[in-house]
Amino acid sequence: MGRDKASLPFGAPGGTMLSRVVSALSRVVDEIVLVARRGQSLPDVARAAGTVPVHLAFDDLEGQGPLGGLVPGLRALSSPVAYASSCDVPFLEEPFVLRMFQALGEADVAIPEAEGFLHPLGAVYRRSVLPHLESLFKAGRLRPVFLLERVPHVKVPEAALRAVDTGLSSLANVNTPEAYEEALRRLDAGTGMGSPPLAPATVAIVSPRRTNSPRTGRSSRRILPMMGERTSLSSMSTCSPWACSKASSATGRAGFCLWR
């Protein structure tokens, strides 16, 4: 791309690619952690985040791919479950994020599988995988598949993803000047970006927003409708409110975003 994609102008006047993603995510999280290179300038996302607090963390080492961003991001989170997305997905859709949380069940990772690829950025991770990530990071085993070899995981099929995001726009990155211009045209036309390429090494992690139970007053998670589609992910029905985690006693909702 040759430019800092997070700072590319996009959307409302003064908006950027990063603020666009933060705005979408802030509607389903309580906290956002931005992960950046040391010395990298930060686009203003305060307006996009609204009342959701935004914090900053840094890569331990640069150029380490998705795992390099997941490690400091997960360290900064207080929530037990997190959603990961690149910062250059300007058409990220909330139903897609919610679907991924629903898919987790009792697994440690729920990862999208679309058009023949696994998408580690667009996946949901339990914070409990952090020791595995740190071990892999130290060993230089930076491919996300190495994490999947270590922990229980769910691959969310393309049909389940398209049921909530027809064009898979939530995975569609802006990797080239041409893709950026196309995204601007699609924004003006009010359409998404269609099927995506592989996600780049840019991360945003988000955990679901919780609500208070009207009966107990304690924090709970809402179960979302599955839109009537058939699915083999039977573990969805085993987890209560939100169908994404049994850790109902955990506090806080968080997200993090990394860009390079």
Per-residue model confidence as pLDDT tens digits over 116-156: 999 998 999 999 999 999 999 889 898 889 999 999 999 99
Q: Residue 65 has what pLDDT?
A: 73
For the domain made up of 5-259, give the CATH fold.
Spore Coat Polysaccharide Biosynthesis Protein SpsA; Chain A (3.90.550)
CB-based contacts of 122, cutoff 8 Å, min separation 6: 84, 85, 86, 96, 100, 111, 112, 170, 171, 199
Low-confidence winner among 49-63, 186-200, 225-239 (lowest mean pLDDT): 225-239
Mean pLDDT for the stretch of residues 235-256? 32
Q: 26 falls in which pLDDT band (50, 70, 90)?
A: confident
More confident position, 53 or 47: 47
Q: Residue 224 has what pLDDT?
A: 31
Q: Is the pTM here over 0.85, yes or no?
A: no
C-alpha to C-alpha distance for 108 and 73, rounded to whole angstroms: 16
Render the burial of 24-49: b for 16+ CB within 10 Å, e for the rest: bbbebbbbbbbbbeeeeeebebeebb
